[in-house]
Structure 1
Amino acid sequence: MTDYTISHPSPGAAVIAVTGTLNVVSARGFREAIGDAVDRAPGQRVVVDLAGVPTIDSSGLGALIGGLKAARAAGGDLRIAAANQQVITVLELTNLNRVLQPYPSVADGLGDAAGGPVAAESATAAGSAR
């Protein structure tokens, strides 16, 4: 099972920490988690923390690109952070690293949007909130 934890380190930012594989099984729930983060605060920077993601397939990539489009349509941005070498290799092979530049850490991905209190909520691959 793939889990998503959404935190809001500042009014202008959201972090989605993903734990588990991003694939055809989990992509729908992942898209919903990104959509929830974008809908709650349009115009914010959404950073997807991939430290807990061992592998990603084309469905996971599609969810990231869909999330990027949704975030930008709402006046914000989506960034990825802490990806392992397998994920980075997939991004490079598909040339998506040109659109989704991987940041070494969540703090780097947040950039000037970092700071402030953190509120968190969790969701599963099925997209249910806890």
Structure 2
Amino acid sequence: MNINLSIDVIEKDNQTELIVTGEIDAFTAPLLKEKLLPATAKESEKIIVNLQDVAYMDSTGLGVFISALKSTKEHGSTLTLVNLQERVHRLFKITSLDSIIAIDTTVRGGE
């Protein structure tokens, strides 16, 4: 099985940035969850997920972000998604998750 996902985690002060590259699907979502959820459990942590190099995400990926959002509510941390490509951003819009998950409005990748 070829897992087409890499995640760099940069921790500084009360901020954790995840730079995600590849595709988020049923095979790779567990890796994203494993890297993302511990950061959301830190009180007052600001989590930024950079999705600039994610061209594809399915509903499994959405599930990871919903879990992360619930965890931030429980622990008083915040979650922001940044640099979404249009295709990925559309998934959040179609499901109305863009109304509950903070998404930087800078959308990359054209129309």
Asked whether the two chains share a fold, i.e. TM above 0.5, the reply is yes
Alignment match, 1:123: none
Selected match of 2:26 from 8, 20, 24: 24
Cα shift at 1:98: 0.3
Q: Secondary structure at the match of 1:61?
A: helix
Listed one character per residue, the Cα deviations across residues 63-89 of structure 1 (whole Å, up to 9, x for unaligned) are 011111112211101110000000111
Partner of 1:78: 79
User: Contact 1:24–1:60 (CA<8 Å) still a contact in 2?
Assistant: yes
The correspondence of residues 1-12 of structure 1 with structure 2, limited to 5 A, is 1-8=4-11, 10-12=12-14
Shift in CA distance, 35/101, structure 1 to aligned 2, threshold 3 Å:
closer
Q: Which residue of 2 aligns with 1:46?
A: 47
1:100 Cα deviation after fit = 1.5
More strand by share: 2
Q: Secondary structure at the match of 2:23?
A: coil
The answer (yes or no) to whether the contact 2:16–2:45 under 8 Å persists in 1 is yes
List structure 1 segments (4+ residues) > 4 angstroms apart after TM superposition: none
Paired residues, number: 103
For structure 1, which runs of at least 5 residues remain unmatched after alignment? 106-130
Question: When the two structures are superposed, what TM-score results if normalisation uses the length of structure 1?
Answer: 0.74
Q: Is the 8 A contact 2:79 2:102 kept in 1?
A: no
What's the TM-score once normalised by structure 2's chain length? 0.85
Distance 1:70 1:101 in 2: 14
Partner residue in 1 for 2:102? 101
Secondary structure class of the residue paired with 2:49: strand
Aligned partners of 1:36, 1:76: CA distance in 2, in Å?
Answer: 11
Overall identity of the aligned pairs, in %? 21
1:124 is matched with none
For residue 36 of structure 2, what is the aligned residue in structure 1?
34
Q: Give, in angstroms, the shift of residue 38 of structure 1.
A: 2.9
